[in-house]
Structure 1
Amino acid sequence: MNSAEFTTFDELAQSEMRRVAIISSLGTLIEWYDFFIFGTMSSTTASLFYKTGNPYGDLIAWLGAFAVGFMFRPFGAFLFGYIGDKVGRKSTFLITLSMMGASTFLVGCLPTYDTIGVTAGFLLILLRIIQGLSVGGEYGGAAAFICENCPQDQRGFYTSFLQMTAKLGISLSLLAIIVFKLSLGDTAWLQYGWRFPFLVSIFLVGLSIYVRFNLKESPMFMEAKRQGGVVGNPLVEAICLPYNLYYMFVALAAVMGQGITFQTANFYALTFLQSTIKVPQMTSYIIMLIALLGTIPFQILFGWMSDKVGRKPMILTGVALSAFFLYPLFYGVYACRPFEKNDPKQPFRESYDPVLICFYLWILNVFGAAAYAPMAAFLVELFPTGIRYTCVSIPYHIGNGIFGGLVPVVAVSISTATRNVFGGLFYPIGVCSFGFFTTLLFAPETLGRDIRKIKKGSAARLSGVDDRIGYTELQRRSGFVSAS
């Protein structure tokens, strides 16, 4: 074998890495589409499944069902994190993807309240639980899989494609709604058209399973398995060993700040547009879609920047800017609403300003992208291979799932109870601030860590050794590249 062939991250390995990143991210994109289509459809479907006698009551009930999926994400993290660290990354996220596709498809098949009464709402919650379990097992596996297949000095860049899938998933769900609603018209959309965005999921998931099936298992996991590095009970080791537990709490704090920002900038913002300032549904979908698509290039940029300046500065900057500007940006959005003719305190304005609204939401999403882009690399670089799937999944889905996922229902409930349109922002601003200061004081900088050398139960040491040599050797042993 030519020694130069496998001592650098050569063309073949780079080509394989791009393939791994794209295919892994594609599956996660479909998972996010399935998970988030539930939230983006809230204003259309709330009154179809819940009849409280009050439009806000219907909306809160639907957002409560939406939140149930987030609440069950940590349970999926426990379950599939364990399986992923015992059996492997690839097999586990094939299972989670299949579960997500089936449950989303079945949402599109459900009879509504008018047909089966309150049972419709209960069945909806059951399927939402399956969605939560599924997405809880997806992210940690995809993050570990990509990081374990890429060189040390490009983890932020490659995992930024994975991070990008969340915004793409929301964008795809918005696009599906726009296309089907415009094609069918308002009447047909409310009668049966709302089902199509859920039903098409089965085809998207089928495509993703097909392309993921051809991926090989993570070479780093296979090497750990060969050397006896797969632990007997990853969940017990993750929770019971002080070092692992400490860094899971550190990771949780970082994710809380980021997750709150993400959910507020997207789902609460959409609810705010439609329910508070009464922007027409279609217009609000288009505004959000443009704001999200305009953010995606920044995900890649910020991921690349984290490979240069570090994970921690990027996360702290994004969370701090979000916490500081949440209120001013939402105030700006609210100020763009049409004014009432009989309000003597302000000049009459007959319509809202969609361009300015879009700009404010784009700014908020850019701030969130700075925190979100390096998060996968940061989490993976904290934990050893044998328990990485578990340790990445649990804090991510508690922070992003529970604390972040509760934003729409908590914020709408607070605003309704206080009769203050901005009252709901106290929750995300408070959690964001907590996440910032905890991360600032306790989180380590993980840039430069050789994740192959993180030992179980002991603090990972920073290493200046380039792990690309190890990467290509692991690729060779696992069959990605062959010795010659």
Structure 2
Amino acid sequence: MSSIPINATKKAVPPAMTPEERKVIFASSLGTVFEWYDFYLYGSLAAIIAKQFFAGLDAGSAFIFALLAFAAGFIVRPFGALVFGRLGDMIGRKYTFLVTILIMGLATFIVGILPNYESIGVAAPVILIALRMLQGLALGGEYGGAATYVAEHAPHGKRGAYTAWIQTTATLGLFLSLMVILGTRTAIGEAAFADWGWRIPFIVSIALLAISVWIRLSMNESPAFKKMKEEGKTSKAPLSESFGQWKNLKIVILALIGLTAGQAVVWYTGQFYALFFLTQALKVDGATANVLVAASLVIGTPFFIVFGALSDKIGRKPIIMAGCLIAALTFFPLFKALTQAANPDLATAQANAKVTITADPKECSFQFNPTGTKKFTSSCDIAKQVLAGASVSYDNIEATGPAKITVGTTVIEGYTSAGLAADEAKKKDAEFKKAVADALKAAGYPAKADPAKVDKLKIIVILTILVIYVTMVYGPIAAMLVEMFPTRIRYTSMSLPYHIGNGWFGGLLPTTAFAIVAQTGNMYNGLWYPIIIAGATFVIGMLFIKETKDVDIYADD
């Protein structure tokens, strides 16, 4: 009887990390930075890629389609988690790393040399979305492996601090992509960058790929996995063990709805949606918005380590739950303050020049279109798309007949495109948009943010607050997810809820938010999506998630 607690004690206190192990963890984190850099290049250049690869569509639809192609990379992430999680639990962490980095790097490089719509027609967007899906599959296998690998090397009592370095890699990857884009733009000019220079950040990733492969070849296998393999205790069927047994499946479900869903929407609101909101809703030019977001990332990123290390002392759960709650309570005032700081003329126009849509509610659709294939043809939907695309908040008035937009005292009659020939529909669309734009201009709505009125310091402060929310929910979560599952199925079990949360709940945030804005008429109402999800995670997490910081991750069960 006495031998059991003695062995358990030995497992519970792994030896302190050696310099070589620290080097290996650094190499793992650096490789993950490169991988996130590859993945985020697309998001940062979505507007330009829309023009290059979706040129057969109007500008608004092209941007939405580009966002959906971006989302496609997220939708497949859970499938990557299943494929590579299984490999990682069966054959090891190291070789799975090599496969994921090769897929990601090569797919990114090919985007850089892929002919555009003008050159090869519809094949261009089809190939692009296929490459995005490959990137999503690779990333689905990356994170769980990196977090597991680092946690299994970390000294007992310091898992939060060590895995927090992995958490910085997504932000650092985004920062690196923004810096390469900004440097290229500055060196060759905006016109050349929009024409061909956007390809350079994708093409130079081949050098990052070479470095990452070299680094990962020099890494050692995780000691926990190596020990388990030597003892013959590796899982023969990690998928069925993880999801076919209720004792494990219920933890997977709780990890999703009580942790990662809320973490994901706070993460994507604080970093990506904030960038989209600046450029698309507030009409700040892309270069300025990138600099402002990059500045906030530089200031905020160290807090990943702060909150990761703090979670080793006070626990993972209170920090993550606090981040979800504070974000949910403050998103509305922060984004309204962002409007005042970035585009005060727009804020003034919205307050002084009321806009309404008078329409039959039966004609109005909820414009969530994740496949990018549905065409909205009713007069109500067309009117709402135009105003939402112009960042105009409006009130809805119920009436029968075709929709009409009222800006102050000006009334613009809507139209229905159903049944119209393509040329006629295009002409009607151009006339309608011009009439709306002219009325908005006369009412004081700006076509873009005035650079002289952009309060950069205030914007950086607001964006930094949003990044700090990200660090609260994201800094401790890798350690917590690792600690929730046994070694033999850890890679598989933690990867799936993480990537469903971040891939589906987070990745679809921009598209969902746009649909909510178009439906309700308020440019801020898209924030209800992350607020509700973060709030639900807070309630479920507080009630059902257990603290994990003192769990023995070297245990077999």
Fold shared, TM-score > 0.5 on shorter chain? yes
Which of 345, 368, 376 pairs up with 1:339?
345
Alignment partner, residue 448 of structure 1: 550
Determine which of 207, 213, 217 is the counterpart of 2:211. 207
Match of 1:353 among 455, 458, 467: 455
Q: Which amino acid is 1:339 matched to?
A: D
Q: How many residues align?
A: 447
- Per the alignment, residue 335 of structure 2 pairs with 330
Write the distance in 2 (CA, Å) between the matches of 1:370 and 1:344: 34
2:401 equivalent to 1:299: no
Separation in 2, partners of 1:26, 1:214 = 13
- 1:463 maps to none
**If you compute each CA radius of gyration, which structure gives the higher value, 1 or 2?**
2
Distance 2:270 2:347 in 1: 30
1:321 aligned to which of 315, 320, 326: 326
Structure 2 matches for 1:114-133, cutoff 5 A? Answer: 114-133=118-137
Could you tell me how far 1:389 is from its partner in structure 2? 0.5
Q: Secondary structure at the match of 1:70?
A: helix
For 2:252, give the aligned amino acid.
Answer: M
User: Which residue pairs with 2:467 in the alignment?
Assistant: 365
1:342-371 residue CA offsets vs partner (Å, 9 max, x unmatched)? 949569986221221121111011011111
Percent identical pairs in the alignment equals: 42
Of the candidates 48, 65, 70, which is equivalent to residue 66 of structure 1? 70
For residue 341 of structure 1, report the CA deviation from its aligned partner: 11
Q: Which amino acid is 1:367 matched to?
A: Y
Check if 1:265 corresponds to 2:270.
Answer: yes
Letter in 2 for 1:34: D
How many angstroms does 1:44 deviate by?
Answer: 2.1
Instruction: Report what 1:478 is aligned to.
Output: none
Partner residue in 1 for 2:177: 173
- Give the equivalent residue in structure 2 for 1:4: none
Residues of 1 paired with 2:346 and 2:309: CA distance?
A: 47
Deviation at 1:29, TM superposition (A): 0.8
Alignment CA distance shift 1:344-1:202 (3 Å): closer
> Are 2:407 and 1:401 aligned?
no
2 CA distance for matches of 1:101 and 1:359? Answer: 34
In structure 2, the residue matched to 1:388 is 490
1:161-202 Cα deviation digits (max 9, x unpaired): 000001001101110110000001012111110001111111
SS in 1 for 2:219: coil
- The reply to whether residue 26 of structure 1 matches residue 30 of structure 2 is yes
Displacement of 1:17: 3.2
Give 1:313 shift.
0.7
Matched, 1:374 2:380: no
Q: Say whether the 8 Å CA contact 1:43–1:274 is kept in structure 2.
A: no
Shift of 1:132: 0.4
Aligned position for 2:423: none
Separation in 1, partners of 2:348, 2:293: 30
Measured after TM superposition, the shift of residue 418 of structure 1 is 3.2
SS at match of 1:153: coil
Cα shift readout 1:87-130 (whole Å, capped 9, x = no counterpart): 00000011000000000000111111111222211111000000
The letter of the residue matching 1:431 is I
Change (3 A) 1:47 1:418: farther
**TM-score when scaled to structure 1?**
0.89
Moved more, 356-365 or 48-57: 48-57
**1:45: how far off?**
1.9
Q: Provide closer, same or farther for how the CA distance between residues 325 and 86 of structure 1 changes in structure 2, counting only shifts above 3 A.
A: same
Structure 1 residues 120-129 or 330-339, which shifts more? 330-339
Aligned partners of 1:276, 1:372: CA distance in 2, in Å?
26
Please give the secondary structure, in 1, of the residue aligned with 2:500.
helix
1:231-282 deviation per Cα after TM superposition (whole angstroms, max 9, x unaligned): 1110010001112111111111201111111111111111111111111111
Measure, in 2, the Cα distance between the counterparts of 1:360 and 1:44.
Answer: 26
Equivalent residue for 1:470?
none
**How far, CA to CA, are the matches of 1:342 and 1:175 in structure 2?**
33
Contact in 2 for aligned 1:307/1:447 (Cα 8 Å): yes
Aligned equivalent of 2:111:
107
Q: Secondary structure at the match of 1:148?
A: helix
Contact kept? 1:260, 1:400, Cα under 8 Å: yes
- Could you tell me which amino acid in structure 2 is paired with residue 376 of structure 1? A
Secondary structure of the residue aligned to 2:206 is helix
Counterpart Cα distance in 1 of 2:505 and 2:83: 20
After superposition, what is the alpha-carbon deviation per residue over 1:195-239, rounded to whole angstroms, capped at 9, x for unaligned?
A: 011111111011011011111111110111122211111001000
Correspondent of 1:410 among 512, 515, 536: 512
Q: Is structure 2 residue 39 aligned with structure 1 residue 35?
A: yes
Q: CA deviation at 1:60?
A: 0.7
Which secondary structure does the structure 1 equivalent of 2:547 belong to? coil
- 1:219 corresponds in structure 2 to 223
Aligned partners of 1:31 and 1:40: how far apart in 2? 15
Q: How has the CA–CA distance of structure 1 residues 149 and 351 changed in structure 2, closer, same or farther, with 3 Å as cutoff?
A: same
Q: Which moved more, 1:74-83 or 1:342-351?
A: 342-351
Q: Structure 1 CA distance, aligned partners of 2:549 and 2:239? A: 26
Q: CA RMSD in A?
A: 1.8
> Kindly tell me: are residues 146 and 115 of structure 1, through their superposed partners in 2, closer, same or farther at Cα, counting changes over 3 Å?
same
- 2:148 counterpart of 1:144: yes
Question: Which whole-Å deviations, capped at 9, do the CAs of 1:50-97 have from their partners, x for residues lacking one?
Answer: 136532211110000000000000000000000000000000011000
2-structure distance, mates of 1:327, 1:52: 36
Q: Is the 8 A contact 1:250 1:443 kept in 2?
A: yes
- Structure 2 CA distance for partners of 1:453 and 1:195, relative to 1, 3 Å: same
The one of 307, 311, 316 aligned to 1:311: 316
Amino acid at match of 1:233: A
Structure 1: runs of 5+ lacking an equivalent: 1-6, 456-484
Cα 1:343–1:448, aligned 2, differ >3 Å: closer, same or farther?
Answer: closer
Contact kept? 2:338, 2:459, Cα under 8 Å: yes
C-alpha separation in 1, matches of 2:455 and 2:547: 42
In structure 2, the partner of 1:466 is none
Identify if the C-alpha distance between structure 1 residues 342 and 259 changes in structure 2 by more than 3 Å, giving closer, same or farther. closer
* One of 51, 55, 59 as aligned partner of 1:51: 55
Letter aligned with residue 186 of structure 1? E
* Residue in structure 2 matched with residue 424 of structure 1 by the alignment: 526
Contact 2:320-2:472 at 8 Å conserved across structures: yes
Q: Matched residues in 2 for 1:77 and 1:340: separation?
A: 43
Contact conserved, 2:266 with 2:534, CA < 8 A, in 1?
yes
Return the letter of the residue paired with 2:309.
W
Seen in structure 2, the aligned counterparts of structure 1 residues 227 and 280 have a Cα distance that, compared at 3 Å, is same
